[in-house]
Structure 1
Amino acid sequence: MVRVKVMAAALTGLLAVSTLAGCGGGGDSGSGGGKDDGKLVLGFSQVGAESGWRTANTKSIQDAAAAAGYELKFSDAQGKQEKQIEAIRSFITQKVDVIAFSPVVTSGWDSVLKDAKDAGIPVILTDRAVDSQDKSLYKTFLGSDFVKEGKEAGDWLVKQNEGKTDPVNVVELQGTVGAAPAIDRQKGFAEAIKANPNIKIVKSQSGNFTRAEGKTVMEGILQSTPDIDVLYAHNDDMGLGAIEAIEAAGKKPGKDIQIITVDAVKDGMQALADGKINFIVECSPLLGPQLMDLAKKVKAGETVDPRILTEETTFTQEQAKAALPDRKY
């Protein structure tokens, strides 16, 4: 009889523990089923390492994850969408808590994002958007307003030529074909320069966001298009590569050809301070802290804004000189 009572008490205790565990004491709560040790597991797929901006962006994310005490599973897509999709599928298989990625291109993500949604893993877009019509496939998009960046570049050029009637021939070095920054920076710039019909884009070609291709493409353009007044590059690295080509052709960057770029990485800012670039629109890569905060919120099931902008500015030569000593990237 005593043995029966002891067994009954033990069974009651086991049932009580089971009931507590089922009330949210340690399950994954539909958040993706990462390690049940209280540490958030974040899977992040990076575009690649095509520029100084991207390197700074990667470091910001890695440093912020370490500071937050998160486990970061990091993957470099090397500029290839298929590698990025493979990485995201791997994160789903590993049952991470949150997936974040900076899309190589805008299209072709619905299938893998639906798999993540079906697995109960929230997704955050960083730096670049996707063109999916189903906005429920991701929780939020953290990054810059690329259209605004292009518009700010164009507005500066329009202001510089206010009251002038001479034609202004612009060469545009675009980013990676199909990438959100390239599409939007082209759009914003084109909209802005409509304010002055004398400003014309005479040549537009992709430099794939890299310094090497920026140089190579500009070398070809200088041979085929001798009358160039302005270069608008979608990022600093392409602009810096183009500067090498311009100097090799015996021209003075910043004087013979005005140069406008986007990003404001240290090398670009130095070129601006030296007068080789005339104007830079900032696009901050330091998204790490904001991303970690968002990852924590979406894992907890909190509602977040579907679009979160980063704070940025623009730089002239004098502003670049003032900002350079404290520049972090």
Structure 2
Amino acid sequence: MKVKLLSGVATVAVLAMALTGCGGGSSSGGASGGGASEGGAGAAKTIKVGFAQTGSESGWRAANTKSMKEAFSKEKGFDLVFNAADNDPAAQIAAVRSFISQGVDAIVIAPIVSDGWDDVLKEAQSAKIPVILEDRTVSASEDLYAAWVGDDFKKEGETAGKWAAENLGTADTNMVVLEGTTGSAPANDRAEGFSSAIAGTKIKTVASQTGDFTRDGGKKVMEGFLQKFGADGIDLVFAHNDDMALGAIEAIEAAGAKPGTDIKIVSIDAVKDGMQALADGKINYIVECNPLLGDQAAELVKKVVAGQPVEKTTYAVDGAFDQEAAKAALPTRAY
């Protein structure tokens, strides 16, 4: 009886191996995270992902959130736990800690600010939950996260600055800057890139203040600039994103000046509303910041959870638009 029993067990084992080899089986990835749910034999593994978004401060962010939710859908094998922190860094860190306590398989973060992430990233690492950074970066050590996917913010600033240098840099030009959220990677990097591109030109920054990447913030800050310098005292606006540029347009028009003519505007993002303003001549130049990062982020998560190697840095492809290019792009614009 013992011999027959062992023989039967061996036969079952061989059959199980054969079925796994032909049918694909379920993925492993258990070493990289905990808490994934699995179906029956041969079912694909559902990857539970916590996504900590910044908030809903702009058209760009809305397009980014939509892209992420579509990429991390149930139909594509994910169980997404979504949190938007309304641009509150403390609330965002609390959301990440909640993801850790829930035992997700991976965490994706679009950090509101760069600093203050070391402790919670170490907690995720101790829990063996890999972290993918999306859109923005952090100042923490690179060994605390698996990968980053996003746009090259410094290059965006450089591209915007080159346009300003080429078109306005040979004459005395008073510029005001509408900064993004203080301490955020895009605000820091775009400012650095733009400044390097206009170095040695006659463009002078007369004022710079954060509008927190919001249309209302951009309008209020621009109103203050106009009260201080007057429309005649401002030649150029550099807005760190389209929403602030659109707010600035409202303020400029309310002051009786013509945006795009009396005061030139260069911006970054290339969302539909911004592109329409460019096509209408109210903005002069826009550098693209592609928000459709969902598919790239999802692919990184799949590989990391499966224990596969990934590139530490993945850049999206960005373009740049003048008025004619915006008119051509608008009819098929996805965001």
Q: Same fold (TM over 0.5)?
A: yes
Residue 216 of structure 2 is aligned to residue 215 of structure 1:
no
**Separation in structure 1 between the aligned mates of residue 113 and residue 322 of structure 2, nearest angstrom:** 31
2:190 partner amino acid: R
Q: Deviation digits for residues 49-77 of structure 1, max 9, x if unmatched?
A: 00000000000011111252311111111
Residue 67 of structure 2 is aligned to residue 60 of structure 1:
yes
Match of 2:198 among 175, 193, 202: 193
**Separation in structure 1 between the aligned mates of residue 28 and residue 289 of structure 2, nearest angstrom:** 39
**Separation in structure 2 between the aligned mates of residue 161 and residue 257 of structure 1, nearest angstrom:** 11
Q: How does 1:17-56 map to 2 (within 5 A)?
A: 29-33=30-34, 34-37=36-39, 38-56=45-63
**Separation in structure 1 between the aligned mates of residue 27 and residue 323 of structure 2, nearest angstrom:** 55
Q: Aligned residues, how many?
A: 317
Match of 1:109 among 88, 113, 117: 117
**Separation in structure 2 between the aligned mates of residue 71 and residue 115 of structure 1, nearest angstrom:** 22
Query: 1:172 is paired with a residue of what secondary structure?
Result: strand
Match of 1:265 among 249, 253, 271: 271
Q: Deviation digits for residues 239-291 of structure 1, max 9, x if unmatched?
A: 00010000000000000000000000000000000000000000010001111
Residue 306 of structure 2 is aligned to residue 306 of structure 1:
no
Question: Residue 42 of structure 2 aligns with which residue?
Answer: none
**Separation in structure 2 between the aligned mates of residue 29 and residue 176 of structure 1, nearest angstrom:** 37
Partners of 2:29 and 2:305 within 8 A in 1: no
1:195 partner amino acid: G
Question: Residue 181 of structure 2 aligns with which residue?
Answer: 176
Partners of 1:28 and 1:36 within 8 A in 2: no
Q: Percent identity?
A: 53
- Cα offset, 1:32, TM superposition: 1.4
Partners of 1:170 and 1:201 within 8 A in 2: yes
Partners of 2:125 and 2:144 within 8 A in 1: yes
- Cα offset, 1:25, TM superposition: 7.7
Question: Residue 320 of structure 1 aligns with which residue?
Answer: 326
Match of 1:87 among 89, 95, 105: 95
TM-score (norm 2): 0.89
TM-score (norm 1): 0.91
Partners of 1:158 and 1:195 within 8 A in 2: no
Question: Where in structure 1 do 4 or more consecutive aligned residues deviate above 4 Å?
Answer: 24-28
Partners of 2:215 and 2:245 within 8 A in 1: yes
Question: Residue 149 of structure 2 aligns with which residue?
Answer: 142
Q: How does 1:244-283 map to 2 (within 5 A)?
A: 244-283=250-289
**Separation in structure 1 between the aligned mates of residue 48 and residue 331 of structure 2, nearest angstrom:** 36
Change (3 A) 1:129 1:252: same
In structure 2, stretches of 5+ residues that fail to align are 18-24, 40-44
Moved more, 27-36 or 249-258: 27-36
- Cα offset, 1:143, TM superposition: 0.5
